[in-house]
């Protein structure tokens, strides 16, 4: 009798686990829970937004977002979460006697002259109404940011229960979806290259919270317990400042976290922190995040050089330089800031920060088209996204181009809004969400 009960219990537990995993996967696919979406690739699994819009067409709602932030919205259910850094009128005493630059240039950081409020917003994604907003901290930043950057650049991440909002040096904050603070963590101050600011977003995988901490002093990768913020493990890294968001992927049932960087891209065992494989070859200022189809992982960068590597995960062990696990590489027209889009076995990426798009076969590296000019667009920081057979590219000056997904360069629309966009677009359901410098847009029919 006990034996029969044990079998029944085991079968019920197994069935529950299967059903839970299916529901959880469905939840992720219907939302945009993190920086690059449910597949960490830029693809919206269940999305069908319009291909045409303007200030007078297909704008469901538009609201101002105070302050400055480059974080991409994340979405769970009816809630959209976004962060911002808002300057107060309280001057930073550390800046009182510091001489100001005569002329602001792109290399001159924005100085931390005022006290900043670090704010998390919950917005109804259907109406644009603010559900709640929470000032999680008020601080004088210890260093500036790039003129194109912000003190609120990392995107949030959620699993439907916890919301993690990272402001990097200014704290990591875990809230529930009603805005109640669960825990907070201070990992210290980063000193970024040329005070260009911070940008790597946190990652949730099961009970783990991963954050990359590459900067000009001692660099680390931290793995925390997402429920209480306690450090599970941390590993010192021989790296300069990087801004890429780590990627977690399961290989033969074991999770590894992949962190691309200038000196070496490294895959760590997520449970223990041991190095599984490493490879050199990325350029300086690593910003684009990796993507994977669970067979190959793609690493890419493009500052003062070009690098694109396709690595076969099942074969990747140890030093991959000159290894057969390095399936194919390419060294032309790769992106500086935008991350790539992996969609239907095709890899889409921009050249530098330019409005020139390439498309390659992700499995073989075969070029479908390369550095094709996106007309009426000037400059791109935002990462492309894909849904329902379309590819969306959003430019810095308010122009967006929509292309047909495929091996041929086929632009189907060019759209213009009265704002500037550096944050990456987000797709959930039939809507496209665009965070501008002035406003947050919901594009939908």
Torsion of Cα atoms, 99 then 105 then 108 then 112, to 10° = 70
Q: Report the CATH number at residue 252.
A: 2.130.10.10
Alpha carbon separation from 246 to 213, 242, 299 (Å, rounded): 11, 11, 11
Does residue 208 fall inside a structural domain? Answer: yes
How far is Cα 31 from Cα 26, in angstroms, rounded to an integer? Answer: 9
Q: What residues form DSSP beta bridges with 403? A: 391, 411
* Through-space distance between the first and last CA atoms of the chain, rounded to whole angstroms: 60
Does residue 15 fall inside a structural domain? Answer: no
Does residue 218 fall inside a structural domain? Answer: yes
Does residue 353 fall inside a structural domain? Answer: yes
pLDDT at 121 over 80: yes
Instruction: Provide the whole-model pTM.
Output: 0.93
Give pLDDT, residue 29: 83
Condensed to tens digits (0 to 9), the pLDDT of residues 421-433 reads 999 999 999 999 9
In the chain, % of residues over pLDDT 90: 89
Does residue 191 fall inside a structural domain? Answer: yes
Count other Cβ atoms within 10 Å, centred on residue 216.
14
Does residue 25 fall inside a structural domain? Answer: no
* 218 contact partners, CB below 8 Å, separation of at least 6: 236
Mean pLDDT value of segment 332-344? 98
Does residue 13 fall inside a structural domain? Answer: no
The whole domain housing 90 covers 31-96+103-443
Q: Is 125 buried (19+), middle (13-18) or exposed (0-12) by CB count in 10 A?
A: buried
Confidence of residue 27 (pLDDT cuts 50, 70, 90): confident
Number of domains the chain contains: 1
Does residue 272 fall inside a structural domain? Answer: yes
Give pLDDT, residue 17: 52
Condensed to tens digits (0 to 9), the pLDDT of residues 374-383 reads 999 999 999 9
Condensed to tens digits (0 to 9), the pLDDT of residues 303-331 reads 999 999 999 999 999 999 999 999 999 99
Condensed to tens digits (0 to 9), the pLDDT of residues 350-387 reads 999 999 999 999 999 999 999 999 999 999 999 999 99
Q: Is 149 buried (19+), middle (13-18) or exposed (0-12) by CB count in 10 A?
A: buried
Q: Mark 261-275 as b/e (b = at least 16 C-beta within 10 Å).
A: bbbbbbbbebeeeee
pLDDT at 226 over 50: yes
How far is Cα 328 from Cα 367, in angstroms, rounded to an integer? Answer: 12
**Mean per-residue pLDDT of the chain:** 93
């Amino acid at each position: 009798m006990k034996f029969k009960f044990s079998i029944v219990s085991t079968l019920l537990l197994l069935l529950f686990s299967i059903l839970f995993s299916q529901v959880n996967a469905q939840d992720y696919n219907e939302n945009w829970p993190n920086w690059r979406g449910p597949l960490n690739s830029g693809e919206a699994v269940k999305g069908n937004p319009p291909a045409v819009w303007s200030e007078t067409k297909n704008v469901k709602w538009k609201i101002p977002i105070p302050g400055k932030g480059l974080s991409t919205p994340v979405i769970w259910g009816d809630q959209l979460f976004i962060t911002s850094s808002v300057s107060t009128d309280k001057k930073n005493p550390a800046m009182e006697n510091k001489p100001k630059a005569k002329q602001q240039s792109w290399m001159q950081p924005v100085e931390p002259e005022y006290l900043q409020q670090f704010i998390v917003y919950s917005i109804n994604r259907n109406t644009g109404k603010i559900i709640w907003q929470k000032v999680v901290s008020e601080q004088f930043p210890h260093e500036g940011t790039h003129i194109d950057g912000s003190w609120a650049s990392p995107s949030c991440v959620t699993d439907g229960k916890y919301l993690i909002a990272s402001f990097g040096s200014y704290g990591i904050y875990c809230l529930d979806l009603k805005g109640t603070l669960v825990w907070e963590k201070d990992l210290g101050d980063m000193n970024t290259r040329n005070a260009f600011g911070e940008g790597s977003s946190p990652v949730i995988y099961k009970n783990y919270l991963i954050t990359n901490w590459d900067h000009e002093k001692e660099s680390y990768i931290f793995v925390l317990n997402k429920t209480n913020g306690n450090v599970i493990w941390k590993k010192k890294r021989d790296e300069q400042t990087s801004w890429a968001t780590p990627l977690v992927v399961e290989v033969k049932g074991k999770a590894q976290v992949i962190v691309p960087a200038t000196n070496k891209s490294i895959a760590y065992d997520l449970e223990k922190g041991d190095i599984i494989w490493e490879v050199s070859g990325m350029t300086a200022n690593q910003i684009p995040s990796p993507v994977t189809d669970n067979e190959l992982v793609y690493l890419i960068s493009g500052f003062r050089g070009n690098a694109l590597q396709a690595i076969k995960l099942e074969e990747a062990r140890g030093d991959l330089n000159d290894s057969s696990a390095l399936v194919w590489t390419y060294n032309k027209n790769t992106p500086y800031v935008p991350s790539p889009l992996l969609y239907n076995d095709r890899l889409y990426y921009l050249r530098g920060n330019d409005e020139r798009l390439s498309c390659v076969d992700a499995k073989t590296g075969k070029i479908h088209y390369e550095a094709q000019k996106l007309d009426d667009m000037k400059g791109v920081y935002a990462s492309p996204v894909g849904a329902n057979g379309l590819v969306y590219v959003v430019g810095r000056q308010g122009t967006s181009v929509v292309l047909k997904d495929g091996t041929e360069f086929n632009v189907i629309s060019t759209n213009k809004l009265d704002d500037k966009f550096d944050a990456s677009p987000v797709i959930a359901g039939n809507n496209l969400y665009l965070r501008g410098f002035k406003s947050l847009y919901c594009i939908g029919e």
